[in-house]
Amino acid sequence: MVPVYPGQENALKIVRFSVANASRSRLGVVTPAGVIDLSAAWRDHQGVETDPGAAAPPDSVAALLDGGEGALARARLVSDWASTEGRPRPGVTWPMDKVRLLAPLERPPKIVCIGMNYRDHCRELGQDLPATPIVFAKFGTAVIGPDEPIIRPRITRKLDYEAELGVVIGKGGRHIPEHRALDHVAGYLDFNDVSARDLQFGDGQWVRGKTCDTFAPMGPALVTRDEIPDPQNLAVLCRVNGKTVQQSNTGQMIFSVAFIVAFLSEFMTLEVGDVIATGTPPGVGVFRKPPVFLQPGDVVEIEIEGLGTLRNPVRDEE
């Protein structure tokens, strides 16, 4: 669910979506009028059909981000035009109940995750705060979108949730100074760092337990940076079957979004479309007393202030 809050009617909430049972994904923007097919509206607004020299519209979130600030500015202009002033052809605006939202980024170049990054989570475990960010990775095959099922693999019975703020890189680089790091952020999304705890802790390193297929739900929309003036003051919630199990604020982060971006860029090239998961607050299942793990039939909802709700059911591997 991607709400449009009062005062945010012009917010740029970028989505991938499909219509009915079509396999083709489309690039869209959520507005009060519904989901704007951005590529179709872009063509109408520019008059591509009558002007062979007009720029081709982007057909994916990655292509839109590759276009930089200019493309994002045009996307805002086009979506405003299509939803308020323009007269787009049929098929440009779709009601929310007629579309299926997909993961905003189908295959991010990298999914970089940060562990133990909330003060209240460290207090929950009785652990000292880490001196530097704890870094691990997930792979593109783990990505799913809203309402897609999280699949519990046969090799685990300790499936866990982790509500996290996801950061999407809009401008790549190396050695990015912290005071300019947010300039490299395209926007934010809800992220669920799904974990197989028996694999994670049994292996002695985290990757296998963190990157099984379907273990990186993200979405429902990429909300652009300008709509989130302070990423360090956002409420974070996780619900399982309607019960709140995590509740905190990104102000509890040990390492801020800007620090994390700068830190990562010291040893890797950040690329457009990379996703950074910034850590989870207390309340995960493995550290509850007694532990509580996800079961088939459960429904997990991640909700971060201003970003909408990411909902995923849980199923067993067939």
CATH number at residue 152: 3.90.850.10
- Per-residue pLDDT band at 4 (split at 50, 70, 90): very low
What is the separation of C-alpha 109 from the centre of its chain, rounded to a whole number of angstroms?
Answer: 14
Q: How far apart are CA 104 and CA 102, in angstroms?
A: 6
- Per-residue pLDDT band at 54 (split at 50, 70, 90): low
Contact between 168 and 185 (Cβ < 8 Å): yes
In a domain, 178, yes or no: yes
Q: How far apart are CA 89 and CA 36, in angstroms?
A: 11
Q: What is the mean pLDDT of residues 127-143?
A: 96
- Kindly state the percentage of the chain with pLDDT values over 70: 92
Q: What is the pTM of this model?
A: 0.93
Q: Are residues 123 and 237 in the same domain?
A: yes
In a domain, 44, yes or no: yes
Q: Are residues 171 and 258 in the same domain?
A: yes
Query: Token digits for 298?
Result: 């459960």
Contact between 151 and 279 (Cβ < 8 Å): no
Q: Are residues 110 and 92 in the same domain?
A: no
Q: Are residues 157 and 293 in the same domain?
A: yes
Domain count, the chain: 2
pLDDT digits (tens, 9 = 90+) for 142-153: 999 999 999 999
The answer on pLDDT for 31 being more than 80 is: yes
Q: Are residues 109 and 91 in the same domain?
A: no
Q: How far apart are CA 172 and CA 163, in angstroms?
A: 25
Q: How far apart are CA 156 and CA 3, in angstroms?
A: 35
pLDDT digits (tens, 9 = 90+) for 220-274: 999 999 999 999 999 999 999 999 999 999 999 999 999 999 999 999 999 999 9
- Per-residue pLDDT band at 11 (split at 50, 70, 90): low
Q: Are residues 88 and 159 in the same domain?
A: no
Q: Are residues 78 and 177 in the same domain?
A: no
The answer on pLDDT for 53 being more than 50 is: no
pLDDT digits (tens, 9 = 90+) for 87-104: 556 678 898 999 999 999
In a domain, 221, yes or no: yes
Domain boundary among 101, 118, 149: 101
Ramachandran region of residue 182, left (φ > 0), alpha (ψ -120 to 50) or beta?
A: alpha
Q: Are residues 155 and 86 in the same domain?
A: no
Range in 12-21, 140-149, 255-264, 290-299 the model is least confident about: 12-21
- Pick from 287, 282, 306, 302: which is nearest to 13 by CA? 306
Contact between 118 and 280 (Cβ < 8 Å): yes
- Per-residue pLDDT band at 27 (split at 50, 70, 90): very high
- Per-residue pLDDT band at 184 (split at 50, 70, 90): very high
Full DSSP string of 166-218: EEEESS-BSS--GGGGGGGEEEEEEEE--EEHHHHHHHSSSHHHH-STT-EEE
Host domain of residue 20: 13-101
Q: Are residues 58 and 180 in the same domain?
A: no
> Which of 44-48, 120-124, 207-211 reaches the highest mean pLDDT?
207-211
In a domain, 1, yes or no: no
In a domain, 7, yes or no: no
Q: What is the mean pLDDT of residues 288-294?
A: 95
Q: What is the mean pLDDT of residues 1-13?
A: 56
Q: Are residues 182 and 203 in the same domain?
A: yes
Q: Quick one: pLDDT at residue 46?
A: 63
Q: Which residue has the tokens 């990562």?
A: 264
Q: How far apart are CA 123 and CA 151, in angstroms?
A: 31
